[in-house]
Amino acid sequence: MDIRLRYGCNPHQAFARLMPESGASPLTVLNGGASAINILDALGAWPLARELAQATGLPGAASFKHVSPAGAAVAKPITDAFRASQWIPDEELSPVALAYARARGGDRMASFGDVAAVSETVDVSLAKLLRREVSDGIIAPGYEPEALELLKAKKKGNYLVLQINPNYDPPEMERRDVFGLTLEQTRNAATIGPSLLTNVVSAKNDLPSDAVQTLMVATIALKYAQSNSVALAYDGQVIGMGAGQQSRVHCTRLACDKADKWFLQQHPRVGDLKFKDGLGRPEKTNAIDQFLLWDQLSHAERQGVADWLTEEPKPLTANERADWIGRFDDVVLSSDAFIPFRDSIDRASRSGVQWILQAGGSMRDNEVTAAADQYGMVMIHSGMRWFTH
């Protein structure tokens, strides 16, 4: 059965629909109406969340925005510092809610207005968490009745709720119309697991189980990100996604900058910022984002931040920033293709990266590996490329 959409990628593309290739659709709209972008995000987010769960045995979640993951994570405990930095209520969260809280909290700026995806049934704990967030929709294999009612009340009853058959796998061949022509290719069904990590090329070769799990999370997220892409992850959670860049080092810089911000959001100085009464979480998020870029702001921009606070902020110095980021040294980096120059390794060294997974096969592999050895990193060649276009 076709699903009629509100519109295509833009409102002026008035006619849009979703059609199964054959048979019944695996997708059901339980509430709200979808645009083409909502569907594209949902159908990128769902297999990512499912694959995270399959690879790790833990509930997986993704926060998807503009056909790339803003965040991805598996269910693991959260620290008090992370909870406070994301304004997560001091209440017990279910495993599926933990997975989404960590996925969304990997980059809360990019997750604003996301499509959420989880590998498990949505329970009341997750529905309550989602009800507070600016989100456009969710896709999941099922919903508890009370959770569904909570979500149906979101966005004045217009929140998009999609249910997917968890046993559905798309056909081997996929097709895409481009400028009146049809492109056909075999679907990227290659699985990501520990077998990708056997070819360690660096002098250092320790690979603890936590690093293996986190490398899986980062690499699975890359599989569903628009290439070029580089992901930094920490403790089973993507904390920096640099996607859709034409240059590998720009992917790395973007991912590392986001990871640095993620760490700095948990700095006590950020937690001590005094916001004016009535300020919403989006405004607080913007204020913190700019506070962490203080030395790059104009006078007018600094004044804008100050207008949201009751006290004059005390910016972090470069040394304070570096000292805080340096406390986190269990960071992994995964690249969706080979790393062609050592510049990405040099940048990654300043963001606590200890393990790197890349395809290998560059004419400068020896130089890149030597850079990893210089910083005491573990470098692994997977022999696999994960481009998505």
Number of residues in the chain: 389
Active site residue: 12, 156, 299, 389, which one?
389
Q: Phi/psi of residue 250, each to 5°?
A: -70, -35
Active site residue: 223, 228, 261, 381, which one?
228
Q: Is residue 299 annotated as a catalytic residue, yes or no?
A: no
Dihedral angle, C-alpha 79, 212, 355, 249, nearest 10 °: -90
Q: How far apart are CA 282 and CA 46, in angstroms?
A: 26
Active site residue: 66, 155, 204, 250, which one?
66
Encoded amino acid at 371, one letter = A
Please return the burial class of 216, using the count of CB atoms within 10 Å of its CB with bins 0-12, 13-18 and 19+. Answer: buried
Q: Is residue 65 annotated as a catalytic residue, yes or no?
A: yes
Helix (H) or strand (E) segment spanning residue 137:
strand 135-140
Q: How far apart are CA 328 and CA 101, in angstroms?
A: 20
Q: How far apart are CA 212 and CA 217, in angstroms?
A: 9
Active site residue: 31, 65, 128, 154, which one?
65
Provide CB contacts within 8 A for 264, sequence distance 6+.
270, 292, 316, 321, 324, 325
Helix (H) or strand (E) segment spanning residue 221:
helix 209-223
Answer yes or no: are the C-beta atoms of 216 and 56 closer than 8 Å: yes
Q: Is residue 267 annotated as a catalytic residue, yes or no?
A: no
CA 65 to chain centre: 9
Encoded amino acid at 388, one letter = T
Q: Is residue 10 annotated as a catalytic residue, yes or no?
A: no
Encoded amino acid at 347, one letter = R
Rg (CA), the chain: 21
Catalytic residues, by residue number, are 65-66, 228, 389
